[in-house]
Amino acid sequence: MKVVLEHITKRFIDRNNKNKTELVAVSDMCLDIPDGKLIGLLGPSGCGKSTTLNMICGLEKPSSGKIFFGDDDVTDLPPENRGVGMVFQSYALYPHLTVRQNITFPLENLKGDKKLTKQEMNDRALGAAKLVQLDGYMERKPSELSGGQQQRVAIARALVKMPKVLLLDEPLSNLDARLRLQTREELRRIQKETGITTIFVTHDQEEAMSISDLIVVMKKAEVQQVGIPQDVYDDPKNLFVAQFLGTPPINVFAGEIREEKVYLGEDCILDAPGIEDKEVHVGIRPEGFIVDENGPLHCKIRVVEVMGRDTSIVSTHPVAETETIRSIIDSEDRPAATSGTVTFSLRKSKVLLFDMETEERIYPC
């Protein structure tokens, strides 16, 4: 099912403000979510991700704009008539019910021609449990399951009604690191197997990048960029997106263009043909550094961290905008010294320039 958001805005009354002013949680959002894809809605806390999801689900009504499922305008439909399945950060399972009963619960109250027999309900529950690989746990209570298994029950419960759209709000946040990794792969598998259009909200960029077909990066109620994760990483529209994606994050310097060359302090690191003289933010991805004794960039080593295959060189530079610079290089190429100066040449494709004021990317254009 294709989902289209057409100029969606959501305003709330800000009860924190004694004048009860309005707060814009989502501003003029336009989004085309293709059928059968997994979309990661990504951004820092408070940027409007959950509000967007709640509007798609029908729990919140947009202040303006329209929402379409396929050709149908669902803006005014209540959640139960939209055909959506929802999974929240807290699994919200009934503790006194078994896995089977938890999964069949949403089927119990179906009415009219949708009403199912006990047998049909059990078959549907078993089908959903198989999808999340919990068919061997049907008679257990939630307290007898791990956090990851409980979240999979919640996913099965959302799937049992065969939703047209599956919505997940920070579904992995309550899991420890290992389970999180496992469950996100599970989520991807389930989504591929069912082909259900899935929108999931996270503030964890790595999580979104690793399993999404498309990511939507939001900041302060506004969509910044939509695209295939690798494309957005390689081609960020602005400094915010560049900084939000990638671990370790992109290194940012206060640079200057002089006579079509990029300077970091006195280090001339790159040609920038066609760009006028001005100050710029220079972003260099951690993987863009090459240890090279004849390289143009001179940094002071703070620490060299060997991590097996890779080595992380933590260094400083007088015009870096952050306290330290993190470069990731192949361990075989690590510098002999662990203190003093390290010189780098740079991979051109990993260097990005941003306007000092607007923070829009200006190079590569």
Closest by CA to 100, choosing from 127, 70, 64, is 127
Q: DSSP secondary-structure letter at 149?
A: H
Q: Yes or no: say if 126 and 140 are a contact pair by the CB < 8 Å rule.
A: no
Q: Which helix (H) or strand (E) holds 301?
A: strand 297-306
CA-nearest of 48, 3, 42 to 27 is: 48
With CB under 6 A as the contact rule, which of the stretches 40-48, 61-69, 78-86, 232-240 interacts with ligand ATP?
40-48
| Closest separation in Å from C-beta 84 to ligand ATP | 17
CA distance 270 to 317: 16
Cβ proximity to ligand ATP, 12 vs 94, nearer residue:
12
Q: Which residue, 23 or 116, is less far from ligand ATP as judged by CB?
A: 23
Nearest-5° angle of CA 75, CA 77, CA 80? 135
Question: x-or-dash pattern for ligand ATP, window 171-190, by CB under 6 A?
Answer: --------------------
Q: How far is the CB of 260 from ligand ATP (least distance, A)?
A: 41
Residues 7-26 that bind ligand ATP (CB under 6 A): 12, 23, 25
DSSP characters over 194-253: H--EEEEEES-HHHHHHH-SEEEEEETTEEEEEE-HHHHHHS-SBHHHHHHSSSSPPEEE
Q: Which stretch binds ligand ATP (CB under 6 A): 38-46, 176-184, 283-291, 332-340?
A: 38-46
Strand partners, 64: 9
Helix, strand, coil percent values for the chain (each to nearest 5): 30, 35, 35
Residue 225 Cβ vs ligand ATP, minimum distance, rounded to whole Å = 16
Specify the amino acid at residue 337: A
Q: How far is the CB of 26 from ligand ATP (least distance, A)?
A: 7
The residue within the footprint of ligand ATP, chosen from 203, 237, 278, 350 (CB under 6 A), is 203
Residue 298 C-beta-side C-alpha neighbours within 13 Å: 8
Residue 140 is a binding residue for ligand ATP (CB under 6 A) = no
CB of 167 to ligand ATP, least distance (A): 12
In the complex with ligand ATP, which residue's Cβ is closer, 43 or 335? 43
Query: Which lies closer to ligand ATP via its Cβ, residue 60 or residue 234?
Result: 60
Q: 297-306 and 341-346 as β-strands: parallel, antiparallel, unpaired? A: antiparallel
Rounded to an integer, what distance in angstroms lies between the CA atom of residue 209 and that of residue 233? 9
The span from the CA of 292 to the CA of 109, in Å, is: 68
**Cβ atoms within 10 A of the Cβ of 150, count?**
22
Shortest distance in whole angstroms from residue 47 CB to ligand ATP:
4
The residue among 45 and 294 lying less far from ligand ATP, judged by its C-beta, is 45
Contact 232, 245 (CB under 8 A): yes
Q: Write the single-letter amino acid at 94.
A: Y
Nearest CB to ligand ATP, comparing residues 45 and 119: 45
The least CB distance from residue 96 to ligand ATP, in Å, is 29
Give me the least distance between CB of 169 and ligand ATP, in Å please: 8
302-314: b or e for each residue (b if 16 or more CB lie within 10 Å)? eebeeeeeebbbb
- What tokens appear for 188 in the block? 């991807």
Binding to ligand ATP (CB under 6 A): which residues in 43-82? 43, 45-51
- Using CB under 6 A as the binding criterion, the count of chain residues that bind ligand ATP stands at 12
Residue 60 Cβ vs ligand ATP, minimum distance, rounded to whole Å:
8
Structure tokens at 361: 């990317």
CB nearer to ligand ATP: give 212 or 311: 212
Least separation in angstroms between residue 90's CB and ligand ATP is: 13
Contact code string over 205-234 relative to ligand ATP, x by CB under 6 A: ------------------------------
Q: Which is nearer to ligand ATP, 2 or 11 (CB)?
A: 11
Residue number with CB closer to ligand ATP (82 or 219): 219
Nearer to ligand ATP, 19 or 45 (CB): 45
Where does this chain bind ligand ATP (CB under 6 A)? 12, 23, 25, 43, 45-51, 203
